[in-house]
Amino acid sequence: MSKSIKLRNQFIDYFRARGHTHVHSAPVIPFEDPTLLFINAGMNQFKDVFLEQGSRPYTRAVDYQKCIRVSGKHNDLEEVGRSPNHHTFFEMLGNWSFGDYYKKESIEWAWDLLVNVLKIDPKRLYATVYKGDNQVTPDDEARNIWLELTGIKDDRVSYHDAKDNFWEMGEVGPCGPCTEIHYDLGAKACQKRHVDGHICKVNGDCGRIVELWNLVFIQYRRDASGKLHNLPRKHVDTGAGFERLLRVIEGVDSNYETSLFTPLISELEVISGVKYSSGDVGIPHRVAVDHVRTLSIALADGVLPSNDGRGYVMRRILRRAARYGREIGLENPYLYKLVEPLIEIMGSAYPELAERKDHIIGVIKSEEESFSRTLGRGLVLFGGITDKLHKEKGAVISGDDAFKLYDTYGFPLDLTELMARERNLTIDNERFNKLMEEQRFRARGEEKFAAIDDEMTVGLKSEFEGYNNDSIKTKVASVKQNNDRLELILEKTPFYAEAGGQIADHGRIQWENGALNVENVVSVGDRIIHVGQLVEGVLPKIDAEVIAIIDQNRRLAIKYNHTSTHLLHTALRKHLSKNTSQMGSLVAPDRLRFDFNHTEKLSSDMLFNIEDTVNEAIRHNYKVSTNEMEYKEAIKSGVIALFGEKYGEEVRVVQIGSDDEPYSRELCGGTHVDSTGQIGLFRIISESAVSAGVRRIEAVTGEYALKLTQNEKRKLNQIEDLLGSHGSDPVEKLSKTLEEKHSVEKENERLLMGWAKGVAVEMLSEANEMNNLRVASRLFTDVSVDRMKMIGDQIRIADSRVVALLAAPVSKGAGQLCCVVGDSLIVEKKLKAGDLVSKAARLAGGGGGGRPHMATAGTKSPEKLSIAVDGFEEIVKKTLEVE
């Protein structure tokens, strides 16, 4: 067993033996927390407990949590790869107490685990405690526990200020003092060992003594004024950085030299042929192995590269890795090759990596290819810029050009700089930075996510009882008026809050002297909030009796679509691959949308097959049943769990079909029909690409599917009427018609050409000689501009020493003119059709222009066209005189 796997197990086992429940790492996409881009600390998944908004069936927990951090005060993306301990992905080991044990056990166990189980030298350990402030007394309690229960030396426990030893979740909210365990890496780790008079200190800045484990004692809540209040329960939240702990245990100089990374680095040495070094030469290696971990984990949890939000962070990380790869000669996609070795190392801790292997590799590879295209395009544009500079004998690439390359085309500035240096050019950095600052300024000043006001509703719980009820009598738990929006929380409710892709129920909540029209329902922690407009009467009081009624027809339509979504999921697995799984889902009353991982467009035959399979399952009229069970039990029995979803310990399993041979079993909290036959009909309406490796199917069911079918038939009837193909195959008839149309058009073109030639000959025969050229003109009655152009062409071809004007009214209020000039005259007499037609059109109260050999013009007074035609010879004559 590798050391990393062993360390995780030792940690988990130690606390399990002490009554802790092993909780799975939450997905890196925060669930129900829009304020956070990624899970970035072990406590994220327990945040609702600390806020007293949610609860758990256990009071002691232990876990290892995957975390992603790309920006913020502790982590600058640019540091990753340069330093021995910065990462964009890392794991946190933690044990938790929710109102259970407190300081004594946490400290005692932490020490015991480090010293006696992990065999870390106690002589290298230090502890820190909080020194107190005007609201909090110094944490002598923790210090005494250290001294009495661990045997650590008195001079190894020190007091520190709030920056290091008072933990806060945010400006307001849960907080408390913490105690930290630090480790002395030894004199050679000191970065200031050559500085005179430097003394290495705990919480110093030389890197020799590092924090190993932080034990946080949450006992306060800070309000908006900064005042601390005691929490009803005290909690423990601990976090030990996994990579750093492993580094200490393995006794190596850098996180990147632990067994978590070395196999990846070796693989990269093979791929690139460049040997790793702990110095600068190894930066590309460190960047690549760090970033491939982040990308793989995020992709496995359902993040996809995109232009904003999480997806954009992924894209930037991938590009950073691709760019550093180029420094060690890796011009082609390479990062995806590290995914398999990564799964070797991390797959047992995070099975989702192995399950989504093909997806992860596919997406990374196609993103790398896409970046190559971006760079390639940038190179072309850069070439254009330098060519221009070369011609103008300039030596400075303007800030605007460099910025445009970067901002619009994504070409990295450092590459621009590098290539400029190679050509002895410089860049106007000042201007570039100014533009960059303007860009930042523009992006600021928009509102952030609306913070949820927690004060009113702390500790409230509402029960969802809507699986079998459309209406419920209950009491009001909380009322809030927000402009014209009313927010109600009830003790129990039949309303389904938007979750798992299923959108919220609509309906009505009624009380003695008023009613709420429910337009949206959201859940926050254990609370279900009904949002809508007060439609009658006055606000209800707390504890007022109400009747909550959902819109039954809407719910029924949602049920059809939700059960159909499960049937579709099964059908996709049957027809495409067992590994096909949901990447996103929308269940609305009028349609359903299902995103899944698949690399190619589905053929229309395939879509029909899938549609058939779903409809077979509908006709089979499978019974749909639900039951609650433990998460682990459910997973063991092979139930489909979706990524990007959070599941508690108790989960709900929706089963379609018999117990012995279920057609589908999925973890799902949504509402479903009793038997599949109720759905009636399932029709796919579209199939499209969402992003690399992900496709989307949209479908309708029940009444909506029937309406779709009827509309299609209606259209077909109309088509048959138009084609006159009743009784015969309209497709055959139409293709025959199109064929005929094609040959008629060809014939028409041929005839027109002959006709145009004839007219041209007529006009030429009537042309007048003057000044060694010929002038022809004619007023047509019913000829379009295109036809006049055809005739004009024939005239030019027949005689290169002719100018001609053609004119015709095209509608009641408009007339068109066309002028042509023979090639010889353009050269010899400098005649331009554009000028001539412009002058002629002016006689008719219009305007126009064109090219030397052919030009067109128009007028809104078609009755004046004859003036233009009659005056044309005069115009030509005068034009020649001027020359």
Partner RNA sequence: GGGGAAUUAGCUCAGUUGGGAGAGCGCUGGCUUUGCAAGCCAGAGGUCACCGGUUCGAGCCCGGUAUUCUCCA
Among 443, 484, 743, 812, binds RNA (CB under 7 A): 443
Interface region with RNA, contact rule CB under 7 A, candidates 77-85, 237-245, 433-441, 528-536: 433-441
Q: Three-state secondary structure along 189-258?
A: HCCCCCCCCCCCCCCCCCCCEEEEEEEEEEEEEECCCCCEEEEEEEEEEEEEEHHHHHHHHHCCCCHHHC
Residue type, 54: G
Residue 755 binds RNA (CB under 7 A): no
Residue 789 binds RNA (CB under 7 A): yes
Which residues 379-408 are close enough to bind RNA by CB under 7 A? 404, 406-408
Interface region with RNA, contact rule CB under 7 A, candidates 229-237, 311-319, 642-650, 673-681: 311-319
Location of structure tokens 């956070």:
36
Residue 597 binds RNA (CB under 7 A): no
Among 567, 760, 854, 875, binds RNA (CB under 7 A): 854
Residue 54 binds RNA (CB under 7 A): no
Residue 849 binds RNA (CB under 7 A): yes
DSSP three-state, residue 635: helix
Residue 855 binds RNA (CB under 7 A): yes
**82 contact partners, CB below 8 Å, separation of at least 6:** 283, 286
C-alpha span between 845 and 854 (Å, rounded): 20
Among 374, 579, 599, 737, binds RNA (CB under 7 A): 374
Q: Report residue 673 as tokens.
A: 């029909």
C-alpha span between 331 and 136 (Å, rounded): 57
The CB-of-816 to RNA minimum distance in angstroms stands at 6
Interface region with RNA, contact rule CB under 7 A, candidates 127-135, 624-632, 679-687, 846-854: 846-854
Residue 224 binds RNA (CB under 7 A): no
Q: Residue 118 or 435: which CB sits closer to RNA?
A: 435
Binding mask 801-840 for RNA (x = CB under 7 A): -------------x-x-----------------x---x--
Residue 791 binds RNA (CB under 7 A): no
C-alpha span between 21 and 58 (Å, rounded): 7
Residue 315 binds RNA (CB under 7 A): yes
Q: Residue 186 or 376: which CB sits closer to RNA?
A: 376
Exposed (0-12), middle (13-18) or buried (19+): which is 656, by Cβ within 10 Å?
A: buried
Residue 859 binds RNA (CB under 7 A): yes
Interface region with RNA, contact rule CB under 7 A, candidates 282-290, 539-547, 857-865, 868-876: 857-865
Among 436, 586, 606, 764, binds RNA (CB under 7 A): 436
Among 45, 95, 585, 856, binds RNA (CB under 7 A): 856
Q: Report residue 426 as tokens.
A: 């410089």
User: Please, are residues 523 and 531 in contact by the beta-carbon 8 Å criterion?
Assistant: no
Q: Residue 405 or 668: which CB sits closer to RNA?
A: 405
Q: Residue 387 or 650: which CB sits closer to RNA?
A: 387
Residue type, 463: E
The CB-of-815 to RNA minimum distance in angstroms stands at 8
Extended beta strands in 619-702, E state? 624-630, 650-657, 662-667, 682-691, 694-701
For RNA, how many residues bind (rule: CB under 7 A)? Answer: 48
Interface region with RNA, contact rule CB under 7 A, candidates 17-25, 550-558, 559-567, 841-849: 841-849
Among 14, 89, 371, 622, binds RNA (CB under 7 A): 371
C-alpha span between 451 and 171 (Å, rounded): 13
Among 691, 737, 800, 824, binds RNA (CB under 7 A): 691
Positive or negative: CA dihedral 291, 297, 299, 303: negative
* 556-582 CB burial, b ≥16 within 10 A, e <16: bbbbbbbbbbbbbbbbbbeebeeebbb
Q: Which of 408, 404, 283, 270 is nearest to 341 (CA)?
A: 270
Interface region with RNA, contact rule CB under 7 A, candidates 112-120, 439-447, 597-605, 670-678: 439-447
**367 contact partners, CB below 8 Å, separation of at least 6:** 305, 315, 318, 692
Q: Which of 656, 472, 494, 492 is nearest to 562 (CA)?
A: 656
Interface region with RNA, contact rule CB under 7 A, candidates 108-116, 302-310, 327-335, 668-676: 302-310
Among 439, 513, 637, 718, binds RNA (CB under 7 A): 439
User: Please, are residues 511 and 545 in contact by the beta-carbon 8 Å criterion?
Assistant: yes
Residue 440 binds RNA (CB under 7 A): yes
* 461-473 CB burial, b ≥16 within 10 A, e <16: bbebebeeeebbe
Residue 40 binds RNA (CB under 7 A): no
User: Please, are residues 103 and 109 in contact by the beta-carbon 8 Å criterion?
Assistant: no
The CB-of-436 to RNA minimum distance in angstroms stands at 7
Alpha-helical runs (H) found in 408-458: 413-422, 429-443
Among 507, 657, 822, 846, binds RNA (CB under 7 A): 846
Residue 325 binds RNA (CB under 7 A): no
Residue 864 binds RNA (CB under 7 A): no
Under the rule (CB under 7 A), what is the footprint of RNA?
306-309, 312, 315-316, 319, 370-371, 374, 377, 404, 406-410, 436, 439-440, 442-444, 446, 690-691, 742, 789, 793, 814, 816, 834, 838, 846-851, 853-860
